[in-house]
Chains A and B, each alone.
Chain A
């Protein structure tokens, strides 16, 4: 695969005691494209995300993020909150992690914490209420409003996030991640639990994030209709290893992928496929 890479993962390995959750995984994500990471349950996809976003320290391998200005950041050396703050990688979680007791708007304001902290002179200027901070807060509210509109939740801005329906929570979590103004957006199964209509709306949202804002997206997804429709590139994992990658069409026709998903061995899968076509 050629082109401008925003993320390159090289020989990433993650062990938990005796379990090897990810083994020698290498792949790259292109700038301003949607890259999907798929594979059966337990393949190690979420673990890869946790390594990229600093929640796990990889046992081996490198993860490089190249910013638009050419700055290269070694993500495996940054930890924790610094990946979101300095490397501008935002993520959502497989089991939604909103702030349930805060309103939708507040959720999106928390996402702009670092920018607002600077504007509030690390609280001191904000405490006395300098106009510069008020302006910054107004801009933050505008950005949040803009995102609430994009994810179609504007009329629920002042409702507690915990009261939202499942699909709305998923969209709000994406909006919250986008409010950090990330260079790379990592989404862990954003379509899980959505109905067909909501899935379609999600696809549209992700495409607009890519096309209008030029944000690169790394996507873990089980919903093949979403993956096949919007991905530019797909990486397939099974048992912690990469078993295939390519365009949606290439991956769909790959016997190894079908075998992994059907849980059969390769010959059988080929047979299944051939009988199917």
Chain B
């Protein structure tokens, strides 16, 4: 491709340019924060407006922005936003791709062994289940955002539909988890299609905003439809999953008694772990297969160029709807799992923050890459736990880490697209060429 020298040559490397950028950013921060931080207003004891100034804090904030700009700018020039891959010599790159080839099976084997290795560490097992839940959600949303290029900010709606489907069917009718699981997926897919119809005419920002609204609408309906959903109190007493009919408790016909082993509450955790792992792998398997089928290729083509798709006789509306419904179905499965794991669900679990988190996982992973999404879920959820010790500064450090990763790899951790069919040799396609979709 292009010579590295042209790409590594950076504009505005001088100290003056650096200072200018930092100064501009500091100025913006000053204007922005002077009202937000510099002046503090509060209602006084008798309702009058009291205010006082906090110029010290303001000054330190502006200073942080000034310093931060310089650091980020230096980092940007050092690693380079797009030059990262080109700076790496080809030999190292091929070595990396070799590791990449072994990374997936190694990760899979490790994941399968997690309950064995960490059998006594309940905390790790719980965390692993949480990570896998987000891996599954990420893979589900990846169909919509990564493959079809439809920016969906309301994905949590389908997670909620799945969770409430299982919760309500199980508590009201006593249906088992294994009957409810497919139903939860089907119901979520159904809602995906229903919401999709009016929404998918819109493109880009409009689509994002309307899907965001739909996510909120579902949550508000759940809060307000007290008779059915229990409103803000949620649904409690949701049955735990059984080992194909055998309850995982210490009763006489429970799992431990049946198999003649000593009862331990860890059995259930381990079972839940393998359950979500199986669900996630199912999602992955189906997605990988779908990508190689005409429908999957049409999704990706849609992301690349919608007009060209129409000129080739592809029904873009149904193609978008199937992507929406497929993603929603996986979200529904994950929701049903969430409900059975928690035993209790309430609208608080399905806020916009969840949608944003799952979307962040997909974007960080590298849109469309299955391995990338899995790594991103691990990094986001695991990383967030890692910083738990930092307490108040946890969010700050975490946010900084995210920013740094996005500077380092603007197209996500795995920035390649693998072709779905090849004649002689499958070559990874550079993310510079792959479109992100706009609707």
- Name A residues whose Cβ lies closer than 8 Å to a Cβ of B: 53-55, 80-85, 90-91, 93, 97-103, 105-106, 109-114, 116-117, 120, 123, 126-127, 137, 141, 145, 154, 157-160, 162-163, 176-177, 180
Contact = CB atoms under 8 A, between A and B. Distances in A.
B63 to A, nearest CB: 43
A127 B289 contact: yes
Given A141-B421, A158-B423, A101 B433 contact: yes
Contact of A158 (B305, B314, B316, B427): B427
A55 B322 CA distance: 23
Contacts of B300: 99, 101-102, 106
Q: Which of B289, B298, B421 has the most CB of A within 10 A?
A: B421
Interface residues of B, number: 39
B308 A97 contact: yes
B313 A99 contact: no
Nearest to A103: B419
Contacts, number: 139
A128 to B, nearest CB: 9
A205 to B, nearest CB: 19
A147 to B, nearest CB: 12
A231 to B, nearest CB: 23
B380 to A, nearest CB: 25
B40 interface: no
B313 A160 contact: no
Interface string B396-427: 00000000000000000000010111111111
B405 to A, nearest CB: 22
Contact of B301 (A110, A145, A160, A162): A110
B313 A113 contact: yes
12 contacts: A55-B310, A90-B311, A100-B433, A101-B433, A103-B419, A105-B419, A106-B419, A106-B421, A109-B297, A113-B314, A141-B421, A158-B419
B429 A103 contact: yes
Contact of A81 (B304, B313, B426, B427): B313
A102 B313 CA distance: 18
A97 B311 contact: yes
Given A84-B311, A162-B433, A101 B420 contact: no
Interface string B273-317: 000000000000010011001110110110011011111111110
Contact of A99 (B304, B315, B427, B430): B304
Contacts of A111: 312
B435 interface: yes
Contacts of B1: 163
B59 interface: no
B163 to A, nearest CB: 26
B421 A109 contact: yes
Contacts of A53: 311
Contacts of B293: 116, 120, 123, 126-127
Nearest to B294: A116
Given A99-B301, A102-B300, A127-B286, A158 B313 contact: no
Contact of A84 (B289, B310, B423, B426): B310
**Which 9 A-B pairs rank lowest in CB-CB distance, beginning with the nearest?**
A101-B434, A84-B313, A85-B313, A162-B433, A99-B304, A116-B294, A97-B308, A157-B423, A110-B301
Contacts of A98: 304-305, 308
Given A53-B311, A90-B311, A117 B433 contact: no
Interface string B306-343: 01111111111000001000000000000000000000
Given A100-B434, A158-B424, A180-B313, 7 more contacts: A55-B307, A81-B316, A85-B313, A97-B311, A103-B429, A105-B421, A137-B421
A110 B427 contact: no
A106 B290 contact: no
A143 to B, nearest CB: 13
Contacts of A97: 305, 307-308, 311
Contacts of A180: 312-313
Contacts of B312: 81, 84, 90, 110-111, 113, 176-177, 180
A162 B433 CA distance: 6
Given A53-B311, A93-B308, A113 B424 contact: no
A137 B297 CA distance: 13
B286 to A, nearest CB: 7
Contact of A101 (B309, B421, B425, B435): B435
A81 B294 CA distance: 16
Contacts of B304: 98-102
B294 A117 contact: yes
